[in-house]
Amino acid sequence: MTHREIRVEALPRVEGEGAMHVEVTDGVLQDVQLSIYEPPRFFEALLVGREFTEPPDITARICGICPVAYQMSACQAIEQACGVSVDGQLRALRRLLYCGEWVESHTLHIYLLHAPDFLGFPDALQMGAQHRGALERGLELKRIGNRIVEVVGGRAVHPINVAVGGFFRLPTTAELTDLRAELLMARGLAAETVHWVSGFDFPELDVDLEMVALSHDEEYAIDVGNVASTAGRRLEVAGFGDLTEEFQVPYSTAKHARLSGTTPYLVGPLARWTLNSDRITGLTADVAREVGQAPTCRNPFRSIVVRALEVLYAVDEAIRLIDAYTAPAQPRLHVVPQAGTGHGATEAPRGLLYHRYSLDQDGLITAAEIIPPTSQNQPAIEHDLWRVVESNLQLPDDELQQIAETTIRNYDPCISCATHFLDMTVTRR
Amino acid sequence: MSAKPTLAVWKFASCDGCQLSVLDCERDLIALSEQVEIAHFLEASSAVSDGPYDVSLVEGSITTPGDAERIRRVREQSRTLITIGACATAGGIQALRNFGDTDAWAAQVYPSPEYLDVLGTSTPIADHVRVDFELRGCPIDKDQLIEVISSLLAGRRPRTPSWSVCTECKRAGQVCVTVAHGTPCLGPVTHGGCGALCPGYDRGCFGCFGPKERANTASMNRVLAAAEVPKSRRLRLYRTFNAGAPAFVDAVTTDQPREQP
């Protein structure tokens, strides 16, 4: 009996701590595990007893890479519980802030975490020694994404300007004018990024899982939408908590999620593009056509192309939002707490992020539930890993490990989020 | 092979935001990589060199038996160990468990809590090993991070703020949110370094850089009580990202001003 085992005890270039284990006996794949050993921090428990105004600041700390997503889903859920709806220019500012996070987070993943896989480097800095222009372009684009978050949110990591009901202070016309000038530069860099990543070699893989994303009639859903899936599901955000069921596996500190307790599914750029790309017009649609990106995308290795297109869209959308902006009378709506339950969902860079809060009449939180994208994607990642490893067993261990790691990074897994995730081990017998 | 000093970045219980600040150095990141060899930084690179390391940056708090062991191994391999952020210096928001029942919390959050192996507390790195320098903030400020690394390379003490947020706010010429609007603000007892960001956005400081040295929280509590901030809200003010910092723990336990409705 021949036994082959590949273990990666600490997966690199992912956000957080995870491990991978692959076990092969007599040339047959026996087991694939993605284990997350990131220590749990119990956010849903520590939120109980806090005031309704606090979740935007507290839940931002679940993830330093996508804090805006947590702030936006939290605000929506609390505002719904209090019977308030934030729309008009306040909502436009929220979408602008969110565009900043998409640019910053996606660009981080494209240039610093994922591109080195396709070009054969251990990290972006070593990639930069041979692709200096590309690295500088990525860092500049990321900087401008962070600028959006700083201008609207006050700070790039854990923004301080997000309030239930809106913002603490509105950005000034001068701040938005300066930002717009940088965004015009970013638009060129983002278009170049799409062309650059489209030239990579992508292994074949066709995902056969259901895809879930928010969807909106008039726009590419980021901050607002109903839940939609490639299997034809359509529901309001309030129904999402009941649709998904979170469960645990012994080898991971992150919860997994399935639809109706049985169906694995995926969220994120592939799901968004496949469900919503027909809402994209103008420059991003033109560039997608130029690089031959179909209106649907089922190959997770091509997620880097979709992320690049979403960066371009977010930059363009940010410019549009600034051009259409007129300052609202007040930085935020007055929100009076009331007893009740509210649900919120937005499209974090890694996929749909759902929050639910119950409040008492004094505005104190009595229950909280948070379903982050990486928890939802864990079964899908293991599903992909199984297929990729099985079809590449002829490869030597180091090459098998490389393609397996890339398969995981296709999802830009955020382990800090999921634990509320990676190391690889391959065992061959 | 390389004569450059080696840098390692380590993660414990945290959100990744402070490590991200290293990558957020952007143009300075390329310059930094020319000055130091980034020898161990899992979030950024799959190339890992063995220790010992000249400088270790440590993010996150100690919350599991395994991590309590791992931090000792990191210390043994590090000539200089710098903690980055509120989790590493004070235990982070997850230190709220120090005041609650961790088993009950685990049962509340996880369907199968028996799969977890966690400690009942979230503690700062300095509770476990010797720390050479603490960089404050939730998150840290990237310019201060560059200053700390540059000062180490130059062999001098880092120039980082030792004053309070309140002092920074006055220097910035901002209107005091407590005096003008009665907004609760922890600026007088909070370590500077953010540039008094929140008061500049018309909100009170919520203490994300932790307590300043010799923070007069007794006086702070009297000011908050006078601004009609009830005791339950005063407690919540201190119990966020630096809840485990001794001065903020004391601020809650010694909070005895006359109760306001």
Q: Is a pLDDT exceeding 90 seen at residue A93? A: yes
Residues 6+ positions from A121 with CB-CB distance below 8 Å: A127, A130
* Nearest CB partner across the interface for B97, out of A42, A140, A248: A42
The whole-number pLDDT of residue B31 equals 87
Angle, helices A303-323/A269-276, rounded to nearest 10 degrees:
70
The whole-model pTM stands at 0.95
Domains of chain A with bracketed CATH: 3-329+337-428 (1.10.645.10)
% of chain A residues with pLDDT over 70: 95
B185 contacts in chain A (CB < 8 Å): none
Backbone torsions φ then ψ of A254, nearest 5 degrees: -105, 140
Continuous segment of H or E residues that includes residue A211 = strand A210-215
**By the CB < 8 Å criterion, does B11 face chain A?**
yes
**By the CB < 8 Å criterion, does B233 face chain A?**
yes
Q: Is a pLDDT exceeding 60 seen at residue A429? A: no
Query: Mapping DSSP to helix (H, G, I), strand (E, B) and coil, where does residue A132 land?
Result: helix
pLDDT grade, residue A263 (50/70/90)? confident
Find the mean pLDDT for residues A229-249: 88
Q: Is a pLDDT exceeding 50 seen at residue A423? A: no
* Nearest CB partner across the interface for B45, out of A45, A123, A136: A123
Q: Left (φ > 0), alpha (ψ -120 to 50) or beta: where does A255 sit?
A: beta
Of A339-348, A378-387, A410-419, the range with the lowest mean pLDDT is: A410-419
% of chain B residues with pLDDT over 90: 73
C-alpha B66: how far from chain center = 21
- Provide the mean pLDDT of chain B: 91
**By the CB < 8 Å criterion, does B100 face chain A?**
yes
Torsion angle of C-alpha atoms A160, A163, A168, A173, degrees rounded to 10: 90
Asked if A64 and B18 come within 8 Å (Cβ–Cβ), the reply is: yes
Chain A closest-CA separation from residue B157 CA (Å):
26
Chain B closest-CA separation from residue A146 CA (Å):
8
Chain A closest-CA separation from residue B107 CA (Å):
9
Cβ atoms of residues A19 and A415 within 8 Å: no
C-alpha A115: how far from chain center = 17
Angle, helices A173-198/A88-107, rounded to nearest 10 degrees:
40
**DSSP characters for A28-77?**
EEEEEEEEE-PPP--HHHHTTTSBTTSHHHHHHTT-SSSHHHHHHHHHHH
Chain A closest-CA separation from residue B35 CA (Å):
13
Q: Is a pLDDT exceeding 70 seen at residue B149? A: yes
**By the CB < 8 Å criterion, does A67 face chain B?**
yes
Cβ atoms of residues B248 and B174 within 8 Å: no
The whole-number pLDDT of residue A425 equals 41
Tens-place pLDDT, residues A125-153:
999 999 999 999 999 999 999 999 999 99
The structure tokens 């929140």 sit at B198
The whole-number pLDDT of residue B202 equals 96
Nearest to A356 by CA among A47, A77, A1, A24: A77
pLDDT grade, residue A254 (50/70/90)? low
Find the mean pLDDT for residues B43-56: 90
Asked if A12 and B48 come within 8 Å (Cβ–Cβ), the reply is: yes
Beta-carbon pairs below 8 A across chains A and B: 188
Nearest residue on chain B to A170, judged by CA atoms? Answer: B201
Beta strands in chain B (DSSP E): 6-11, 37-41, 53-59, 78-84, 133-135
Strands A351-359 and A340-348: antiparallel
Nearest residue on chain B to A158, judged by CA atoms? Answer: B139
Q: Is a pLDDT exceeding 90 seen at residue B46? A: no
Q: How far is residue B69's CA from residue A282's CA, in Å, rounded to a whole number?
A: 55
Which segment, A92-96, B20-24, B109-113, is predicted with the most confidence on average?
A: A92-96
Q: Is a pLDDT exceeding 90 seen at residue A422? A: no
The whole-number pLDDT of residue A36 equals 76
Residues 6+ positions from A46 with CB-CB distance below 8 Å: A58, B93, B94, B96, B97, B100, B105
Between residues 150 and 179 of chain B, which touch chain A (CB distance below 8 Å)? none
Residues 6+ positions from A259 with CB-CB distance below 8 Å: A210, A212, A229, A233, A243, A244, A245, A265
Asked if A168 and B203 come within 8 Å (Cβ–Cβ), the reply is: yes
Cβ atoms of residues A197 and A308 within 8 Å: yes
Q: Is a pLDDT exceeding 80 seen at residue A251? A: no
Tens-place pLDDT, residues B161-202:
989 999 999 999 999 999 999 999 999 999 999 999 999 999
Asked if A15 and B63 come within 8 Å (Cβ–Cβ), the reply is: no
**By the CB < 8 Å criterion, does A283 face chain B?**
no
Find the mean pLDDT for residues B4-12: 94
pLDDT grade, residue A253 (50/70/90)? low
Q: Is a pLDDT exceeding 80 seen at residue A281? A: yes
pLDDT grade, residue B261 (50/70/90)? very low
Tens-place pLDDT, residues B98-135:
987 777 777 777 777 777 778 889 999 999 999 999 99
**By the CB < 8 Å criterion, does A367 face chain B?**
no
Find the mean pLDDT for residues A265-277: 97
Tens-place pLDDT, residues A213-228:
999 999 999 999 999 9
**By the CB < 8 Å criterion, does A358 face chain B?**
no
Q: Is a pLDDT exceeding 50 seen at residue B1? A: no
**DSSP characters for B183-228?**
----GGGBB--S-SHHHHTTS----TT-BPTT--HHHHHHHHHHTT
* Nearest CB partner across the interface for A108, out of B21, B23, B63: B23
Nearest residue on chain A to B99, judged by CA atoms? Answer: A46
Q: Is a pLDDT exceeding 90 seen at residue A267? A: yes
**By the CB < 8 Å criterion, does B17 face chain A?**
yes
The whole-number pLDDT of residue B48 equals 86
Backbone torsions φ then ψ of B49, nearest 5 degrees: -100, 150
Cβ atoms of residues B243 and B122 within 8 Å: no
Chain A closest-CA separation from residue B221 CA (Å):
19
- Provide the mean pLDDT of chain A: 92
Domains of chain B with bracketed CATH: 6-154 (3.40.50.700), 165-253 (no CATH)
pLDDT grade, residue B258 (50/70/90)? low
Mutate to test the interface with A, among B33, B43, B50 (most CBs of A within 10 A): B43
Nearest to A215 by CA among A270, A264, A277, A263: A277
The whole-number pLDDT of residue B260 equals 46
Of A106-110, A340-344, B154-158, the range with the lowest mean pLDDT is: B154-158
Nearest to B255 by CA among B228, B227, B215, B224: B224
Between residues 138 and 197 of chain A, which touch chain B (CB distance below 8 Å)? 139-140, 142-143, 146, 154-158, 160-161, 163, 168-169
